[in-house]
Structure 1
Amino acid sequence: MQQKSQATSIVLQFIALVDRQFPYTTRPSMNVIDRKWIFRVKYNSDGTIQRYKARLVAKGFQQYAGVEFTDTFNPVIKASTIRVIFTLVVTYNWEIRQIDFNNAFLNGEIAEIVYLSQPAGFVSTSHPQHVCKLQKALYGLKQAPRAWFHKLKEALRTWGFISSTSDTSLYKHNDNFLLLLVYVDDLLITGNNAPLIQTLIQDLQNRFALKDLGLVKDFLGFEALRTTIGLHLTQSKYTTDLLIKTKMHSAKPVPTPMSATLKLHVASGPAFSDPTLYRSTIGALQYLTYTRPDIAFAINKLSQYLQKPTELHWTTCKRILRYLKGTVHRGLHFTSASSLHLQVYTDADWASSIDDRRSITGYCVFLGTNLLTWSSRKQSVVVRSSTKAEYRALAHASTEVAWLRSLFSELGISLINTPVIWCDNQGVGALAANPVFHSRTKHIEVDVHYVHEQVLDQKLVVSCVPSTEQVADLFTKPLSIPRFQYLLTKLNLAVSPGCA
C-alpha cells in the first residue's frame, strides 16, 4: 500500500510536467523514449526502514546526442573540499546543517524536444496512441542532472551566492560568511551566523520542496558524529554492508590491509573465476577510501588488475576485507586546528611495479593535525632514478598545495606559515632550491621549474625528513605490522566514540 501511494504521488508530479491532453500522436519521425517504474526501500543510517519509494524514470539511453540532449555533466563537491570545511567547522565551532531536496531533477527545465511514452498503468484509454511531450526534466534523462544544477545555481545567485573557482560546487555568500556544499540533491550549509543559516533554509524551502535534516549526521554515506572535542567521519554502515555482500562479515581480522612481503603482478597465479565480483568489490572499496586512507595503497595496487584478476589478486582483496572487519568503526577525526599551517609528506617507491617498472607516488596533506587529502597512484612514465621518481611525487604534491592555497584564499582564510613539503630524499630538496640540469634530470625539467618557482615565490618550502618519520610511506608500499601501526597514528584516524 505504501508503494502504491508513493507511485500515485509520483504520477501526479509527472502529469504536471507534461501536456495534460497528450496532444501529440506518434509519427514515424518521432523518437519516443520508453519509461519504467523503479521501486526502492529507503533506510536510515542505523539500518531501519525509513520509507518505501516509487519513481517513474525515462530510459535515457534511447536519446540521441545533439538532438534530444547536449550537456549532461553535473559537477559535485570534491571529497577534499568537504574535509577542509569540516576542519574549519570544528576549528571555529560553526554550525553545519544538512538538507535534502525532494525529487530534485523534476525541477530542471529542458530546452530540447523530448517525447515519452505514457506511464505504465496510466495509459489514456481514449487516446492510447498519444505520447507525452516533456516540459521539465525527468529522472533518467541524460540532461536531467545538468538541468537541475542550472536551476539551483540560478536560485543561489539571486540570493547573493557565487561559485568558487577552486570547486564549482562550493558557494560563498557575497556579504555574509555562509558556505554551501552541493552534491546533486544533498546540501550542506555552514558559516559563522546561525540565524542567517536558518533564513537561507527557509528561502530554499519556499523555492523548492526539501527536507531539513538538521545538524549533519549522515551525508553521502558518511556518518558524521559531532562531539565536544571534534567531529568524527566514518563509513561504518557502508563497510558492514560490503562485508555482508562479499560474505566476509564473519572472517578473522588481520592487522594490516596487505602483506609486506607480497609482490603482485599481472600473472600472479591462475585466473580468477568471477572477474565481475572482483571488479565490483574493488569499486566499492574505492568509495571507502574517502574516509579510510589506510587502505588507499592496497586499493590502488589491486585496481591495476581489473582486466584479468587472478586468484592471488582476489585473495589479497579478501585480506583488505578482513582488515576492515577488525576496523569497521575507524574513520577520520577532525579536531580544532591550533594553527592553520599546511604540512605535506611526499614519497615515491622507485620502479616498484614488476609489470612495467613504473614508480608509485604517494602524498598526504595536513592542516594542523587534520588530514585533508592524500593520494596513492602509479606514475605515468618510467623514470631511470629514484630522484626523478621522488621529484615527480613532489610536483604532484605541489599542485595540491597550490589548489588548497587558492581555496583558502577564496574563503578569506589566511594560512599562518608557508606550506612545508617534507620528503626523505636530500637530492630532491637540493634540486628544488638550486636547479642544475644535465642528462640525468632533463626529463623532469618542467616539474623542476614548477616547484622551483613555487619555492622562489615563497609559496612553499621543501624540507627533508628522516625516512623513519615519512608518513607518506603508507601510500607507496606495503609495510610490516609495527611500521604500519606506527604511521597509522600520524593520520589522525580514530575509532568512532562509543564503538571502542
Structure 2
Amino acid sequence: MILVQVYVDDIIFGSTNQSLCEEFVTNMQGEFDMSMMGELSFFLGLQVKQLKEGTFIHQTKYTKELLKKYDMAGCKVSNIPMSTNCYLDNDVSGQGVDQTQYRGIIGSLLYLTASRPDIMFSVCVCARYQAAPKQSHMNTVKKILKYLKGTINCGLWYPKGTSPTLVVFSDSDFVGCKMDRKSTNGSCHIFGDCLVTWHSKKQACVALSIAEAEYVAAGSCCAQTIWLKQQLQDFGLKLEHIPLRCDNISAINITKNPIMHSRTKHIEVRHHFIRDHVEKGDCDVEFIETENQLADIFTKPLPKERFYKLRTNLGILCEDNLS
C-alpha cells in the first residue's frame, strides 16, 4: 500500500515498500512535469523531523515568525497559555483594540493548533470575541504568545512500533461560558500512542446538568469516532467496540439505557446518535477517573502541574527532549 496526499500542486507520499514509491515517482514524472524534493521535511507550514524512533511534527519556524510579526519576540515567558482565574466576557465597558490585528493573531494561532493542541482551548475561547475585541481579550491572547515564546520548539511526537488501536477521550466543562451558560466539549483520539485528532468547541445548547453536558459531548465525539473508523477501514484496519472514555457515570448510563427518562426527555434527538452506535458495538463508553482524562485540557484552563502532565501524556514534547 502507498499513501498519497495532494494539496493543489504539492504531493507527499509514503509506503513501507520502497519499490511502490519508486514506481509512483516514475509514473507521475511520466505524466507531469514535476520535481522530487527528497525526504519530507516541510509541508504546508509543518516541519517534519524523521528519526529512527519516530516522527516529530512541529511549527517552530512559523511560531518564530508569528512572534516577530506581532512584536512579541522579546516578550517574557508564561508557564501556561491561560490562567485558571481567567473568565472572559464581552467586556462592554472595556477599551477597544484593533480588530484587524486581533483577528490576525487568532487566525495565526488557529493555524498553529495543527501541531500545538496544548493551546487549542485558550485560542478557541479568545476566538469568540473577534466581533468586538477589548483590551482584556488582547491581554489574554498575548499570554498565549508568551507561552509559545517559552515552548517555541514543542510539537507532536509520533513514535514507531505502536499497536493499531484507537482510544477516545471525551469531556465537558459544565456551564464553562459565564455569559450564555453553555458548556464546552473537549475530545481527542489516540491511535496507538499517537494523538491524531483533537477538538474543543462550545456546545450549541444549554445543559441542565453535568450528566447532560457530558452526554452531549460524548455524542459529538462519537460522530468523529465513526468517521475515523471508516477511514481506517479504507486502510484495511477494521475496529469494533472502540473504547470511548468518559469521567461521568450518569452520562455513561444514559448511553446504554434506551428508556426515555423524565430528566432526559428534553435532550434533542440528534444527541442520542451515540446510543445507536453503542448498541451496534461500534464503540463502548467506559468510565475513566478525572485524573486520567486526557480531554480535560480541551475544556478548561488548568493549573500548571496538571497542564504539564496532560501535555506530556498527549505526546506534546519539546524537540530537545526527544528520545
Give, in angstroms, the shift of residue 498 of structure 1: 8.0
2:99 to 275, 281, 285: 275
CA–CA distance in 2 between the matches of 1:178 and 1:471?
32
Specify whether residues 269 and 255 from structure 1 end up closer, same or farther in structure 2 by C-alpha distance, changes over 3 A only: farther
Give, in angstroms, the shift of residue 315 of structure 1: 0.4
2:262 to 427, 439, 443: 439
Q: Provide the residue aligned with 2:251 in structure 1.
A: 428
Residue 192 in 1 paired to residue 16 in 2? yes
Secondary structure at 1:438 match in 2 = coil
Specify whether residues 499 and 190 from structure 1 end up closer, same or farther in structure 2 by C-alpha distance, changes over 3 A only: closer
> Which letter does structure 1 place at the counterpart of 2:138?
W
CA–CA distance in 2 between the matches of 1:498 and 1:374?
23
> Are 1:429 and 1:462, in contact at CA under 8 Å, matched by a contact in 2?
yes
- Segment of structure 1 superposing worse, 292-301 or 475-484: 475-484
Specify whether residues 499 and 364 from structure 1 end up closer, same or farther in structure 2 by C-alpha distance, changes over 3 A only: closer
> Which letter does structure 2 place at the counterpart of 1:492?
G
CA–CA distance in 1 between the matches of 2:272 and 2:138?
42
Q: Provide the residue aligned with 2:34 in structure 1.
A: 210
TM-align CA RMSD? 1.7
Q: Provide the residue aligned with 1:256 in structure 2.
A: 80
Q: Provide the residue aligned with 2:291 in structure 1.
A: 468
Q: Provide the residue aligned with 1:489 in structure 2.
A: 312
1:477 to 291, 300, 318: 300
Give, in angstroms, the shift of residue 377 of structure 1: 0.5
**TM-score, normalising length: structure 2:** 0.96
Give, in angstroms, the shift of residue 273 of structure 1: 2.8
CA–CA distance in 1 between the matches of 2:270 and 2:192?
27
Give, in angstroms, the shift of residue 433 of structure 1: 1.4
CA–CA distance in 1 between the matches of 2:35 and 2:248?
52
> Which letter does structure 1 place at the counterpart of 2:80?
T
Specify whether residues 448 and 301 from structure 1 end up closer, same or farther in structure 2 by C-alpha distance, changes over 3 A only: closer
> Which letter does structure 2 place at the counterpart of 1:396?
S
Q: Alignment length, in residue pairs?
A: 323
CA–CA distance in 1 between the matches of 2:303 and 2:71?
27
Q: Higher Cα Rg: structure 1 or 2?
A: 1
Give, in angstroms, the shift of residue 309 of structure 1: 0.4
Give, in angstroms, the shift of residue 369 of structure 1: 1.2
Q: Provide the residue aligned with 1:339 in structure 2.
A: 163
Q: Provide the residue aligned with 2:181 in structure 1.
A: 357
CA–CA distance in 2 between the matches of 1:372 and 1:444?
30
CA–CA distance in 2 between the matches of 1:452 and 1:273?
46
Specify whether residues 333 and 445 from structure 1 end up closer, same or farther in structure 2 by C-alpha distance, changes over 3 A only: same
Specify whether residues 285 and 448 from structure 1 end up closer, same or farther in structure 2 by C-alpha distance, changes over 3 A only: closer
CA–CA distance in 2 between the matches of 1:306 and 1:206?
49
CA–CA distance in 2 between the matches of 1:301 and 1:492?
23
Secondary structure at 2:4 match in 1 = strand
> Which letter does structure 2 place at the counterpart of 1:217?
S
Identity %: 35
> Which letter does structure 1 place at the counterpart of 2:50?
R
Specify whether residues 475 and 264 from structure 1 end up closer, same or farther in structure 2 by C-alpha distance, changes over 3 A only: same
Q: Provide the residue aligned with 1:418 in structure 2.
A: 241
CA–CA distance in 2 between the matches of 1:379 and 1:261?
21
Give, in angstroms, the shift of residue 444 of structure 1: 2.5
Give a deviation string over 1:254-295, Cα, whole Å, max 9, x none: 110000011100116523331111110000000000000000
If asked which structure has higher relative contact order (CA below 8 Å, sep 6+), I would say 2
Residue 313 in 1 paired to residue 141 in 2? no
> Are 1:302 and 1:317, in contact at CA under 8 Å, matched by a contact in 2?
yes
**TM-score, normalising length: structure 1:** 0.62
Specify whether residues 450 and 337 from structure 1 end up closer, same or farther in structure 2 by C-alpha distance, changes over 3 A only: farther
1:228-239 matches, within 5 Å, as 228-239=52-63
Q: Provide the residue aligned with 1:26 in structure 2.
A: none
Specify whether residues 294 and 268 from structure 1 end up closer, same or farther in structure 2 by C-alpha distance, changes over 3 A only: farther
CA–CA distance in 1 between the matches of 2:281 and 2:211?
23
Residue 459 in 1 paired to residue 282 in 2? yes
Give a deviation string over 1:38-77, Cα, whole Å, max 9, x none: xxxxxxxxxxxxxxxxxxxxxxxxxxxxxxxxxxxxxxxx
Specify whether residues 348 and 296 from structure 1 end up closer, same or farther in structure 2 by C-alpha distance, changes over 3 A only: same
Give a deviation string over 1:144-176, Cα, whole Å, max 9, x none: xxxxxxxxxxxxxxxxxxxxxxxxxxxxxxxxx
Structure 2: where are the runs of 5+ without partners?
A: none
Residue 243 in 1 paired to residue 70 in 2? no
Give, in angstroms, the shift of residue 497 of structure 1: 4.7
> Which letter does structure 2 place at the counterpart of 1:482?
E
> Which letter does structure 1 place at the counterpart of 2:318?
V
CA–CA distance in 2 between the matches of 1:237 and 1:212?
23
Residue 386 in 1 paired to residue 210 in 2? yes
> Are 1:422 and 1:463, in contact at CA under 8 Å, matched by a contact in 2?
yes
Give, in angstroms, the shift of residue 247 of structure 1: 0.7
> Are 1:239 and 1:328, in contact at CA under 8 Å, matched by a contact in 2?
yes
Give, in angstroms, the shift of residue 385 of structure 1: 1.6
Q: Provide the residue aligned with 1:109 in structure 2.
A: none
Specify whether residues 195 and 396 from structure 1 end up closer, same or farther in structure 2 by C-alpha distance, changes over 3 A only: same
1:51-450 matches, within 5 Å, as 177-267=1-91, 270-415=94-239, 418-444=241-267, 446-447=269-270, 449-450=272-273
Give, in angstroms, the shift of residue 445 of structure 1: 5.1
